[in-house]
Amino acid sequence: MRENNFDLLRLTAALGVFIAHGSLFYDLQISSFFNGVYSIGSLSVYVFFFVSGYLNFQSWSRGPQWASFATKRALRIFPGLLVAAFVSVFVIGGLMTTLDLTDFLAAEQTWVLFLNYASALATQNDLPGVFANNPIPHAVNGSLWTIKYEIMMYALLVVFGMAFGLSRRLLVAAVLVSAAAFLLVKDPSLDEGAVTWRDFWQFAAIFFAGAAFNYIPVNQRHWVIPPMLVGFVIACTGTNLAVVQGGVFLCLPCVVFLLAYWRPLTRIRLRHDLSYGIYIYAFPVQQAIAEISLRHGLSKPVYMVVALSLVLILALASWIVIERPAIAWSRSLVTSFRRYLVTRPF
């Protein structure tokens, strides 16, 4: 039996993003929490970053070598992302464009978007003649924008690990500085450009909170219940935006940590890790099915069921054909690299 529920939490987070986008793409409705500051989608993205920080701290601690760490992270992200970029642009985009397919493929914008997605930049989001009349117009795969921040967190983890060591004090300082920068600095210019620094700071706060939680013994996890409750009350009752966000920053990591080791959930066994596949395929599939559903008068439940079915099929195919083999390959490469370091003559 598994000792934790991180795979299940990631799957739940991926489905949370799917649900949040589902209503938005169909009729512009979205449920919000904590005085309208957060949706289930934005909270789910926080879950991803917390879990990533927690697990990648462990990965680095087991083998603090930047080349091995980078290899494993790159082969976890980019093979699936490359295929998802191709499917988003050339398959879904090619099927849904109102242009002649020859014109669509000849358009510079088509190829620019593919490269933009495949490189994890995701600073552009529209294709010629695609989703122009949807409730959320033009957006092809708007979920990919967070991946570049994930990669930046990996890089910071390596820099901190190599330069200073990932001590408890360093990680707590990283959390506090990042949270303070996000909550207190309100310069609008920080929200411009390929990297928006307010997003960087909020994700850094959650990611390094995940890393810092490794210093809390699992058998003493009950100590996070008081700050969790305090954060929840602050998030629910706060009238100032920064206060609400601060409450969520305090509450959510504690909730995820407690659920990660909640024994009843460990009985749920997942044969496949579909979370990444759901995340990278849901947006364009939902946009396509929303357009078809609205055109033909299909109800929202039908739209959601059809979209989820297709997304699960793509996610399963991505895991079996792309992601799992890439993970195995990365482990083989890292093992070979470590063997080379041990045996090479000096």
| Other Cβ atoms within 10 Å of 143 Cβ, number | 24
pLDDT of residue 346: 46
| Closest C-alpha among 45, 256, 36 to residue 142 | 45
pLDDT of 60-81, one tens digit each? 999 888 999 999 999 999 999 9
Report CA-CA distances (Å) from 55 to 12, 123, 157, 207, 301.
17, 27, 12, 10, 36
136 has pLDDT over 70: yes
pLDDT of 39-50, one tens digit each? 999 999 999 999
pLDDT of 242-280, one tens digit each? 999 999 999 999 999 999 999 998 888 889 999 999 999
What confidence tier does 2 reach under pLDDT thresholds 50, 70, 90?
A: low
Question: How far is the first Cα of the chain from the last one, in angstroms, to the nearest whole number?
Answer: 44
Angle CA 74–180–31, to nearest 5: 75
> Distance between CA 196 and CA 217 in Å, rounded?
35
Tokens 């970029």 correspond to 85
100 has pLDDT over 70: yes
- Whether the Cβ atoms of residue 57 and residue 211 lie closer than 8 Å to each other: yes
188 has pLDDT over 90: no
pLDDT of residue 341: 58
- Whether the Cβ atoms of residue 345 and residue 91 lie closer than 8 Å to each other: no
| Closest C-alpha among 202, 197, 146 to residue 174 | 202
Largest CA distance in the chain: 71
Angle CA 167–173–178, to nearest 5: 130
25 has pLDDT over 50: yes
140 has pLDDT over 70: yes
pLDDT of residue 72: 94
- Whether the Cβ atoms of residue 41 and residue 21 lie closer than 8 Å to each other: yes
Mean pLDDT of 15-35: 93
Q: What percent of the chain has pLDDT over 70?
A: 97
**Mean pLDDT over each residue of the chain, to the nearest integer:** 93
pLDDT of residue 344: 61
> Distance between CA 235 and CA 43 in Å, rounded?
13
What residues are paired with 33 via a beta bridge? 38
Higher pLDDT, 1 or 158: 158
What confidence tier does 189 reach under pLDDT thresholds 50, 70, 90?
A: confident
pLDDT of residue 237: 94
DSSP state string for 153-194: HHHHHHHHHHHT---HHHHHHHHHHHHHHHHH---GGGG-SS
339 has pLDDT over 80: no
pLDDT of residue 194: 80
> Distance between CA 27 and CA 257 in Å, rounded?
34
Q: Is 32 helix (H, G, I), strand (E, B) or coil?
A: strand
Q: Is 78 helix (H, G, I), strand (E, B) or coil?
A: helix
pLDDT of residue 186: 77
pLDDT of residue 21: 95
Per the structure block, which two tokens stand in for 233?
Answer: 């009350």
Per the structure block, which two tokens stand in for 68?
Answer: 């091995």
Q: Is 33 helix (H, G, I), strand (E, B) or coil?
A: strand
Q: What percent of the chain has pLDDT over 90?
A: 80
Q: What is the pTM (predicted TM-score) of this model?
A: 0.94
What confidence tier does 1 reach under pLDDT thresholds 50, 70, 90?
A: very low
> Distance between CA 345 and CA 286 in Å, rounded?
55
What residues are paired with 38 via a beta bridge? 33
pLDDT of 190-239, one tens digit each? 777 788 888 999 999 999 999 999 999 999 999 999 999 999 999 999 98
